[in-house]
């Protein structure tokens, strides 16, 4: 299994803080040592970093931890391989273009025997996760267009997620840069930080940040992760089958699959 991290409307301090905690789980405090990746939306562009080595000892991860990147959406993944070899092509998050936007996807879980329908998008690597991503985009490309409203797209994503979840573990992060869609079948938690800000301490590293001194009263940042990253904050735990649509740091739509 793997671990996920997403941030909506993040500040450079929040990003470096959360990313530092997650990368420690990639081979130091956790077993997820089979590669990692992170993608930051900057306008319509995406700044992406991938490495097939463990994130806890990655020199590339060190650069990202100390680089002040401001992004409205960021998606990160650390991998514990269960399907597909350990190589760069199999590191998440995966990215494709659709309707003039880059779509970024990361997945935690496993769908035994999953076979995507043939279509325009094809996986480069050998993971079931990338095959799932291509299947999602092929479905959207076949049934929607660039003028389809967000509500209609989200409804399709919910139905697809329910179908995938019926075949195995399917924890999902998906963004087109405008919004972030999350779906949980087993583990996912979130926290939204806004004024008045306070301090926070990482579980996986001896790092504490006082967000009040690093933010403005207008800042809002949300962190979505497989397991809570801090030990002194109250996290909101997703329920199995729960999905949320995030935009600019807040939930704008949510729901729960009917069992």
The β-bridge partners of 57 are none
Nearest-CA neighbor of 48 among 84, 107, 92, 13?
A: 92
The residue annotated as part of the active site, out of 2, 16, 76, 134, is 2
SS3 content of the chain, % helix, strand, coil (to 5): 25, 35, 40
Q: Reduced to 3 states, what is the DSSP secondary structure of residue 91?
A: coil
Active site residue 2: yes
Contact 84, 125 (CB under 8 A): yes
Contact 227, 3 (CB under 8 A): yes
Q: Alpha helices, DSSP H only, in 76-205? A: 128-143, 150-165
Q: Which two tokens stand for residue 138?
A: 């092929």
Q: Which residues does the annotation mark as catalytic? A: 2
């Amino acid at each position: 299994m793997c671990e996920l991290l997403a941030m909506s409307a993040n500040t450079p301090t929040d990003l470096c803080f959360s990313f530092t905690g997650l990368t420690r789980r990639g081979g130091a405090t956790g077993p997820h040592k089979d590669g990692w990746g992170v993608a930051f939306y900057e306008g319509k562009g995406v700044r992406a970093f991938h490495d097939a080595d463990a994130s806890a000892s990655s020199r590339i991860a060190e650069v990202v931890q100390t680089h002040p990147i401001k992004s409205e959406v960021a998606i990160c993944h650390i991998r514990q391989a269960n399907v597909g070899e350990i190589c760069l092509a199999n590191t998440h998050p995966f990215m494709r273009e659709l309707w003039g936007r880059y779509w970024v996807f990361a997945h935690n879980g496993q769908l035994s025997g999953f076979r995507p329908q043939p279509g325009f998008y094809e996986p480069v690597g050998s993971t079931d996760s990338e095959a799932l991503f291509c299947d999602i985009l092929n479905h959207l490309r076949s049934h929607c267009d660039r003028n389809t409203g967000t509500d209609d797209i989200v409804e399709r994503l919910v139905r697809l997620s329910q179908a995938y979840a019926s075949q195995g573990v399917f924890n999902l992060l998906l963004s087109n840069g405008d919004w972030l869609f999350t779906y949980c079948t087993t583990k996912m938690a979130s926290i939204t930080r806004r004024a008045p800000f306070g301090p926070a301490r990482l579980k996986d590293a001896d790092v504490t940040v006082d967000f009040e001194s690093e933010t403005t009263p207008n800042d809002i940042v949300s962190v979505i992760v497989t397991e809570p990253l801090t030990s002194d904050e109250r996290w909101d735990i997703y329920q199995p089958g729960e999905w949320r649509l995030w935009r600019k740091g807040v939930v704008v739509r949510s729901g729960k699959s009917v069992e």
